[in-house]
């Protein structure tokens, strides 16, 4: 079971450097037209000096500040990433230290681009199991550090950033109908290998970092299928209180367009910001939620569905009854 919770704070953080499609055309054989026509991407933020840890801390701090909770109130931290600089300690542990949060449950989850959905459900479940009232969920990725910058089929797709939310126990549940799933990736459709050091027993002693390997056509087929299935299931569970808006994982605008054409949802129901961020993996949904609220697209009282898909092959979704008022709009 998951605790009855609401989202009371949200934040995002992206690196300062912006790399446009025209910039990439100076590195690989590509163009703004080629990239945007196939993906909807125009630019992305690229970490130069920033780390996944620093981005996560900033996003989590913004979410905690908005929520009005103090570090001492936090009982659970769940972080998700596939690009953290350290295998251990956890990204959650680094956020805990940086924000001066006292002893609490802190852990990472790894579910690729579906990571935020997994982390959100995990945090709400831990709040119920451990009887905690406040949790931080943070996703942070520096995907560009794992790109092959000579491969135009993948390097143009990714960007860096972090997003976070604060969950608070509430009398009425505002996080509803969680769905988590994984289908065995028998064909290695998406693989990102960690840097590893060989031992004296395996031959040469050297460090190496492999780049993202992805079969784009297979990803597309998988993504549209699980997005449709997840949205159909969430819609059925919502019954007479239908979904108002949808914030999907921002992997490729063509995936979103395909789903819109094959389902009964309208284009204006989908929030799409991939043009300025590219695919930030697990961070894409919380970054999109934050920007959707800041722009006035997402408002208190909206029923919004989040849908993710990623390596594993993972997928997931949930419905959120949004309760945060955009304070900037009210000033």
Encoded tokens for 324: 């945060």
- Retrieve residue 83's tokens: 């690009």
Out of 45, 61, 279, 290, the active site residue is: 279
SS3 286: helix
Q: What residues contact residue 316 under an 8 Å CB cut-off, 6+ apart?
A: 111, 114, 117, 118, 121, 178, 179, 180, 181, 230, 307, 308, 309
C-alpha to C-alpha distances, 182 to 93, 312, 315, 316, nearest whole angstrom: 26, 6, 6, 8
Angle at 228 (CA atoms; ends 179, 231), nearest 5 degrees: 45
Q: Which two three-digit tokens encode residue 270?
A: 């989908």
Least Cα distance to 303 among 252, 219, 235, 253 occurs for 235
Strands 303-310 and 245-248: parallel
The closest of 231, 254, 251 to 303, measured between CA atoms, is: 231
- Residues 156 and 20: their CA atoms lie apart, in Å, by 9
Q: Which of 104, 113, 147, 290 is catalytic?
A: 113
Q: Which of 13, 249, 252, 273 is catalytic?
A: 249
Do 52 and 85 touch, CB atoms closer than 8 A?
Answer: yes
Quick one: how far is CA 211 from the chain centroid?
20
Active-site annotation holds for 279 = yes
Measured between its terminal Cα atoms, the distance across the chain in Å is 39
Residue 249 annotated among the catalytic residues of the structure: yes
The catalytic residue positions are: 113, 249, 279
């Amino acid at each position: 079971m998951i605790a009855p919770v609401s989202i009371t704070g949200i934040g995002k953080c992206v690196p300062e450097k912006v790399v446009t499609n025209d910039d990439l055309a100076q590195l690989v054989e590509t163009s703004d037209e080629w990239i945007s026509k196939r993906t909807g991407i125009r630019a992305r933020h690229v970490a130069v000096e920033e780390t996944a840890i620093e981005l996560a801390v900033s996003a989590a701090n913004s979410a905690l500040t908005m929520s009005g909770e103090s570090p001492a109130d936090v009982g659970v931290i769940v972080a998700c990433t596939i690009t953290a600089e350290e295998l251990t300690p956890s990204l959650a542990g680094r956020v805990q230290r940086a924000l001066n949060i006292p002893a609490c449950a802190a852990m990472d989850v790894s579910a690729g681009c579906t990571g935020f959905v997994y982390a959100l459900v995990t945090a709400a479940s831990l709040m119920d199991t451990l009887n905690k009232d406040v949790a931080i969920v943070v996703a942070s990725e520096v995907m560009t550090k794992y790109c092959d910058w000579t491969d135009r089929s993948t390097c143009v797709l990714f960007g860096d950033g972090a997003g976070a939310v604060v969950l608070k126990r509430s009398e009425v549940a505002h996080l509803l109908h969680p769905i988590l799933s994984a289908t065995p990736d028998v064909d290695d459709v998406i693989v990102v290998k960690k840097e590893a050091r060989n031992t004296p027993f395996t031959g040469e002693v050297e460090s190496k970092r492999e780049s993202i390997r992805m079969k784009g056509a297979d990803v597309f087929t998988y993504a549209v299928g699980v997005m449709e299935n997840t949205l159909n299931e969430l819609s059925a569970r919502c019954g007479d209180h239908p979904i108002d808006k949808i914030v999907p994982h921002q992997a490729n605008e063509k995936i979103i367009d395909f789903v819109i054409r094959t389902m009964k949802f309208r284009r204006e129901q989908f929030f799409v910001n991939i043009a300025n961020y590219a695919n930030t993996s697990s961070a894409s949904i919380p970054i999109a939620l934050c920007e959707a609220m800041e722009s006035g697209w997402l408002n208190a009282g909206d029923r919004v569905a989040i849908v993710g898909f990623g390596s594993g092959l993972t997928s997931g979704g949930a419905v959120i009854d949004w309760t945060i008022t955009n304070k900037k709009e009210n000033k």
